[in-house]
Every structure is written in structure tokens, then in C-alpha cells.
Structure 1
Amino acid sequence: MPQKVLIIEDDRASMQLMRELITKAKLKPICAYSLIEAKHIFSSSEPEEFLCAVVDYELPDAPIGQAVDFALSSFLPTVVVTRYLDNERRLAILKRDVVDYITKENTQVYEYLSRLLTRLEKNKKIGVLVVDAIRGRRAAMVSLLRRHNFITFEAPDSEQALEIMQRFSIIKLILVDDEGLPNMNAIEMLSQLRHNFKKEDLAVIGLSSSRNSALSARYIKSGANDYLLKPYHNEEFYCRILQNVEYMENIELIRRAADSDFLTGLPNRRYFFEKVSVSQNHKPLLQSLAIIDVDHFKNINDSYGHDCGDYTLKEIAKLVAEHFADFTAARFGGEEFCVYFSNVEQVEVNKVLEDFRLSLATKNYQFEKNNFSCSVSIGVSHQAKSDINNMIRSADQLLYQAKNNGRNQVVSD
């Protein structure tokens, strides 16, 4: 069920545009054309159903931001929309604990709103650690972060910060103010962090009120991703946060693209070898490798076309992902898949593979007006002390045995 976004807006053209953007973001717009209507809607709803509110600053029954105050008092993260923005109105908006504001200038501004709504949903899964010796400064940053739905953690010193990092894997960003940190300064903490976390996996923003330009360079050279000079405007604070979070997300997308098979979405051959290599470095007591090949796949392509062949591979890949979620599975190329098992008893390996084979063989495939079934042959090698290449060669030979014995079967050594 998509989360709701409360829109309070009296202009029907703006309302329609925001409704479309919110729907596009896979959220559910709940529309109110006045403050009175918004109060009625919200009183008959569960607050937890709402992701946030998008509120016009000036309404006929709320001319100076009363609707914004209502949304904030209802504990809704609030984005303010305004027809014009002079300095006085900007300050009046920023004095409130709003997420952000946008002006009704052009469609590009509304595109920013769409991005912001998507960000509010994503941020609910991202942890941010604030490291500062002064409680008041920590509380101020935590308050700003919570407006954007981040999960927040606090530490008064570097040692506690490093401890928290060991316990919570959802932390993707650290804000550290070096001023007054006891025991270990921010530069030393950064040095320790970078032994375990790359800049692409954990962003660190250093803060300082010092005008010494060498300090920002020291932060960056020691492993920080960014630097923020105090005092800062809230808007600059958010821009730095979002810039660094989105940088890490983009790197993750690139990694996934590099590690995934384009057609099926399964891990690809390159990722498979990397993962197995890491596993073998730990010298598992037991290891098995299975090669899975679709029987008579050429006949499917010849009979129903290559689009049907692609559909079949995608459906088989879904079963591979489901049955081998606890192991290392990949599409090896063509109609071939590979699965690696570490420290799993041979009897269990054979059972998992047999369950997969039966599940696939009994599945009915439907593509356009065609109904058909297919099967797989599987060769599985159990060679505890062998390297990956020898296991592949062995499993390949056993696969040929399965093919020669009539297909649709598992053959192991």
C-alpha cells in the first residue's frame, strides 16, 4: 500500500501538477483545498499512513503559514510551496521546522519536489551518525536530519562513534565536528574508519568553525568526503547531505550494473568468480558446485522465437533466485546457470538441486498464445579441496552425463 502525501493547495492547476508528480513517485496524493478541509481529512486518517505534507504557504483561510503550522503540529515532514519568495517570507518559512520550500516558478521546480518526495521515502532506510562533543550542537543536527526522515545516531566522542559503527550497518553517513572531541580527534577517527569502510560505502562530512583553509584539506586528505564550514545555512546543510548520499547510491547502481546479468537480473559470471574466490580464501571444509543447463533450449527459440527464449530464461532465473537465495548463484551465459555451495553437506546440496529441478519441470510456461514446459540437466561436483576451475570442469563432465542419460536429472560425483 503506497504511503499518502497530504497536499494543501487552493490553486487547482498547481494541485493537478502536484497530484501527477506524487502519483509518479508511487505515492498516494490526498488533496485539500483549504486548511479546514485538511484538518477534516487528517482527523479521519491514521497519521502513520502519511509520508509527508506539501503545503501552500498562503491560503484564503490560512494567509500567513497557518496550514504549515498545522502540518508540523501533526508531526508531518512538510514541504512548503509559495507563489513568491522575498527575504522576509523566506526567513518566516525557514524559522519553522520544514523539510524545504519551493516557489511556483516553473516545471523544473516541481521536478525538484518529485525528487524530494522520493528522497523522503528512501531516507527512512539510511542511518546518519552525528559525532560532536557538545550535546546542543548534536541535537541541532539531529533535528535537521529527522525532518528528512533519516535514522539518527549520536556519539559525544570518537571512541563511541567507532563502537556504534560496529553495531549498525545501516549507517551510511557520519557528520563529525572536531571541536572539543576528547581522547581521539576527528582526523584520527577517520584514519581508523577508512580501514573498514571505503568512501563509496560510508560518507564522512567534517565540520568546523575554523577559517583555516588547511583544515578542510586535512579532512579530505584523511578520508572525508566533504567539509562544511560553520555557521551554515540549513539549505547548505541539506544540499551537502543529499549530495553525498546520492553519490553513494549512484556508485551502488554502477556496481549492481557491473555485477548483474542484463537479461535476468541474476549475478553475472564475473561477480560469481569474485564471490567464490572470497569464500575459498576462508578454506571451507565442504564445497560443491553445480552447473545447470536448460534442455532443448534451441527448440524453444526455433519454435516460439527469441523473445520467448528470453522470457523462459527470466522465468528460470526467478526460480534460481528463489531456490538458491542462501548460496552463490549466477547466470553463466546462454542457457547455463551456476551455483556454489560452501560448507553444506552433500546430501543437502543434492536435495536442494533436486527440489529445484522438480519445481522447474512441473512449471507451466505461457508466452503470448503458447503454452509449454521445459526442464534442466544438472551436473554437480563435490570436491572439498579443489579450486573453482577444477570444480567447473568436473561439474561440466557430469552435466554431459546427465544429458546423455536422457536429460531432466541431477548427476553428481
Structure 2
Amino acid sequence: MQYRILVVEDSPVVLKVLKHLVSQSQEFEPVLCSCYKEAEEKLAEGESFFASIVDLNLPDAENGEIVDLVLEQKIPCIVLTGNFDDSLRVGLLNKGVLDYVTKESRYSFNHVMKVVNRLKKNQDIKVLVAEDSSTSRLFIKILLEQYRFNVIEANDGQEALAKLEADSEIKMLITDHNMPVVNGYDLVRMLRRNIRFQDLVIIGLSAEGDTSLSAKFIKSGANDFLKKPFYHEEFHCRVISNLESQEMLETIRDLANLDPLTKLYNRRYLFEEGEALYQKGAVAAVLDLDFFKKVNDTYGHFVGDELLKEFSSLLIDVFNDALIARFGGEEFCLISALSVDEVVGKLDEFMDLVRGRTFTTAEVSVTCSIGVCSEQQSTLGEAVNLADNYLYDAKRTGRDRIVLSEE
């Protein structure tokens, strides 16, 4: 999907720079206008725009009329200007402009693109606002929706807790302190006791004058705290900053736990996290692509890599509730809480899917061999070793088959 970005700028040099920066992402399509009239004509065509980057002072609209034009169309607006004026900045932000950027250096234009990219990311982020005041809740919702967040509302801490339990995709909670039933401080404490919510970004709010409240919130597990009334520019900065910090932590965690090619878990993560799952009675299976070296030798390593990625995606589709890891090369392991019969049934289904399709643009046909440890062992390591031995038996006896015991 391509997102159309309206760029309105009278300077040919700046317009060229912005066109280059916007075009660097294949997801963005710049629509260039050099004056107010051109922008007006583009908007009159009825095409939708994901965001706009506009020069405040245009030859045919010297007093910022372009801002009113795009905001009337409910298009998120980033303003560029040659001069900084604090009172003008405040006025523009109060109108609903996302940011006010001076054309000082290349960094300024990079900052504009950072805001646009953030808007794209925010579309997939759910934010829960827990606030008993409908006025305050609406104000916060408007601020978040300016940045294209998906906003969910709760009237009190108890309702917020229920919505968090029901929707695992909520990434951020913004909670007032003074709420009925369960207040914000107690809500934070309850959430941080549950490992499921360890990555939830929490920002506390309060109009109360107790200076120790912010410290209490943060010590209980909140990521940040804002005292009401707050200025919406500060609010946006805190929200974005905390989200980016959490995303950085998730990136670091992914680098440690995920295979960089297939995005499956790696061997280390499987043994660290899979032991507890296995001890509850799970089944371990080891899979290996047949004659994978021949694919690399015939088509090259790029096609081999694409094959591994597509094979991994197919494995996830069939075993979407299992813990799946790439052991290295063309070998994979999965731990499933299903019964042995159910796991074998799904593996048969998976092998049929592999046989019935061609992979990558090179249209490569492949099969796989599988070993399954069907009896409970003392440790996950023992189970995987046995499954690996059965995989060897599957290879030795003709490949493209499942083996559950020594043959």
C-alpha cells in the first residue's frame, strides 16, 4: 500500500529535497505543489492524503492559509517555515498542526520524515485511555488521533483492566489517578504484578497537587507521569518518546531471541522458554528440508534464503499456537501443547502443503523429513535429541516422511 503525502513548498530546492526524502520509502508517494492554488486543485480532485508537509508562507497565501486548507480536509499537517516565532507556533499547534519545523538544516527535513514515519507506525498501535472525566478523555483521544493512534476508552480502572485482559494488542495505557472503583496508581501496581503486561507502556496523569504522586507512579511501574493540565506538545513528546524507548527494547530483545533470516525464534530461546512448556506435556518435533544443499548449488544462496523464509511462514500458518525455532541451516524445531496424534496430523497436513507448492520465484519444489519424540522425556533437551535421531532415521529410510520411533 502506498501513502500519498501532499508536499506544498514554493522553493524548488526545498521541494526537491522533500521529494527525495519522501520517495526513499516505497510506501510513500510524494504529491508536489509549488503554491496554494495547486494544492487547492489537488485537494479538489478528491484524492485522499495520508499526511501533508506545507510551507507556512506561500506566494499566493502569505498568512498560513494552506494550513487551514489541509486541516479542513482532516489531513495531518506538518508545517515548515523559515523563521521561528513562538506565539505563531503555539497558535498553529492549538489549531491541530502536528509539528512546527524551521528550515535550518538537513536535520530539520529528516525530522519531518521521522514524524511522517511515526504516523504510519501509529496506525497499528492501540492506546487505552482510562479517565473518568468524559471531557478529559475526549481531549486526550483527540490528541492521540491526531497522530493516528487507535484509541480505546475506559471510564475507570476496573473497566481498563477488563479491556487490557481482553485485548492483548493494546500497547499503551494512559491512566488518570483519581478514578472510581480502581484508581490509576492501584491499576499500575496490579498490571505490573502480571508478567503479561511487562511490555505495556504506561503513562500516569493527575491534577492533584501531591508532588510525590509522580514518584509513586513511576516506582510502582509507570513509564512516565504528566501533571494536568498539560500542554499538548509535551503530551505528544512524552507519548512518542516512551513508545520509541519500548520499541528499542523490543528490537534488542528480538536481536537476542530471533533468527535474523526467518524471524523465527533461535535455538537459545527455544531451550530457555520451551522447557516450561514441555514439562506441561508438550510434543517436540524436528524438521529438515530434503536436499537443501542442492537448491543452493543449483539456484544460489539468495533463492535458498527465500525458500527458508517461505517454508518458515508456512510452518507458522499451520502451527500458529506452537513454539517454533530455526536451529540453523535448514533444520527447524517445534514444541506443541497438542496431543501426539494432533501434532502428527498437523505435520501430515504441513507435508502435503509443502509437496503441493513451488517456492520462490524460481519455483523450487521440495520435501521435508520429520522426527517426533512421542513419549515424555525428563527434559526438553532429551526430547529434542530423540526427535533429531528419529529425523536421521527418516532421512536414512528415504526422506519425505515422519518417524516417531527408531526404525
The TM-score bracket by the shorter chain reads 0.7 to 0.9
Q: Aligned partners of 1:364, 1:153: CA distance in 2, in Å? A: 40
User: Which of 383, 390, 396 matches 2:375?
Assistant: 383
1:378 partner amino acid: I
User: Which of 318, 324, 330 matches 2:325?
Assistant: 330
- Equivalent residue, structure 2, for 1:267: 265
Per-residue deviation, 1:46: 3.2
- Equivalent residue, structure 2, for 1:117: 116
Contact 1:291–1:378 under 8 Å retained in 2: yes
Deviations 1:56-85 (A, max 9, x none): 111122211211001011011111111112
Q: Aligned partners of 1:339, 1:159: CA distance in 2, in Å? A: 38
TM-score of the two chains, using structure 2 as the length reference: 0.88
Secondary structure of 1:54's counterpart equals strand
Deviations 1:378-400 (A, max 9, x none): 32332367753343233222222
* Greater Cα shift, 398-407 or 182-191: 398-407
Label 1:337 to 1:163 Cα distance change in 2 as closer, same or farther (>3 A).
Answer: closer
Query: Are residue 351 (structure 1) and residue 343 (structure 2) matched?
Result: no
Alignment RMSD (CA, Å): 2.8
Label 1:37 to 1:291 Cα distance change in 2 as closer, same or farther (>3 A).
Answer: same
Q: Aligned partners of 2:240, 2:272: CA distance in 1, in Å? A: 31
Q: Aligned partners of 1:31, 1:313: CA distance in 2, in Å? A: 39
1:107 partner amino acid: R
Per-residue deviation, 1:134: 2.1
State how many pairs are aligned.
399
Label 1:234 to 1:402 Cα distance change in 2 as closer, same or farther (>3 A).
Answer: same
2:113 partner amino acid: S
Secondary structure of 2:336's counterpart equals strand
Contact 2:376–2:383 under 8 Å retained in 1: no
* Greater Cα shift, 211-220 or 239-248: 211-220
Contact 1:54–1:79 under 8 Å retained in 2: yes
Q: Aligned partners of 1:6, 1:268: CA distance in 2, in Å? A: 43
Query: Are residue 42 (structure 1) and residue 43 (structure 2) matched?
Result: yes
Contact 1:354–1:410 under 8 Å retained in 2: no
Deviations 1:234-279 (A, max 9, x none): 2211110001111111122122222211344322112323453343
- Equivalent residue, structure 2, for 1:340: 335
- Equivalent residue, structure 1, for 2:223: 225
Q: Which aligned pairs between 1:2-401 and structure 2 lie closer than 5 A?
A: 2-25=2-25, 26-47=27-48, 50-179=49-178, 181-196=179-194, 201-281=199-279, 283-284=280-281, 287-295=282-290, 308-309=300-301, 311-325=303-317, 326=319, 327-344=322-339, 345=342, 347-355=344-352, 358-359=355-356, 376-383=368-375, 387-401=379-393
Contact 2:290–2:367 under 8 Å retained in 1: yes
Per-residue deviation, 1:29: 0.8
The unaligned stretches of length 5 or more in structure 1 are none
Per-residue deviation, 1:2: 0.6
Label 1:133 to 1:320 Cα distance change in 2 as closer, same or farther (>3 A).
Answer: closer
1:44 partner amino acid: E
* Greater Cα shift, 90-99 or 145-154: 90-99
- Equivalent residue, structure 2, for 1:402: 394
Contact 2:8–2:33 under 8 Å retained in 1: yes
1:31 partner amino acid: L
Secondary structure of 1:95's counterpart equals helix
2:31 partner amino acid: I
Contact 1:321–1:329 under 8 Å retained in 2: no
Label 1:313 to 1:339 Cα distance change in 2 as closer, same or farther (>3 A).
Answer: farther
Label 1:197 to 1:246 Cα distance change in 2 as closer, same or farther (>3 A).
Answer: farther
Label 1:378 to 1:356 Cα distance change in 2 as closer, same or farther (>3 A).
Answer: farther
Q: Aligned partners of 1:162, 1:206: CA distance in 2, in Å? A: 15
Contact 1:174–1:205 under 8 Å retained in 2: yes
Q: Aligned partners of 1:248, 1:357: CA distance in 2, in Å? A: 37
Per-residue deviation, 1:218: 0.8
Per-residue deviation, 1:157: 1.9
Per-residue deviation, 1:7: 1.2
Q: Aligned partners of 1:130, 1:208: CA distance in 2, in Å? A: 13
Secondary structure of 2:265's counterpart equals coil
Contact 2:191–2:197 under 8 Å retained in 1: no
Secondary structure of 2:84's counterpart equals coil
Secondary structure of 1:228's counterpart equals strand
Contact 2:285–2:373 under 8 Å retained in 1: yes
- Equivalent residue, structure 1, for 2:403: 411
Contact 1:259–1:267 under 8 Å retained in 2: yes
1:293 partner amino acid: D
Q: Aligned partners of 2:158, 2:2: CA distance in 1, in Å? A: 40
Q: Aligned partners of 1:300, 1:152: CA distance in 2, in Å? A: 48
Per-residue deviation, 1:103: 0.9
Label 1:296 to 1:83 Cα distance change in 2 as closer, same or farther (>3 A).
Answer: same
Secondary structure of 2:263's counterpart equals coil
1:21 partner amino acid: L
Label 1:393 to 1:7 Cα distance change in 2 as closer, same or farther (>3 A).
Answer: same
1:20 partner amino acid: H
Label 1:119 to 1:200 Cα distance change in 2 as closer, same or farther (>3 A).
Answer: farther
Q: Percent identity?
A: 34
Per-residue deviation, 1:106: 0.9
Q: Aligned partners of 1:138, 1:27: CA distance in 2, in Å? A: 32
Label 1:364 to 1:130 Cα distance change in 2 as closer, same or farther (>3 A).
Answer: closer
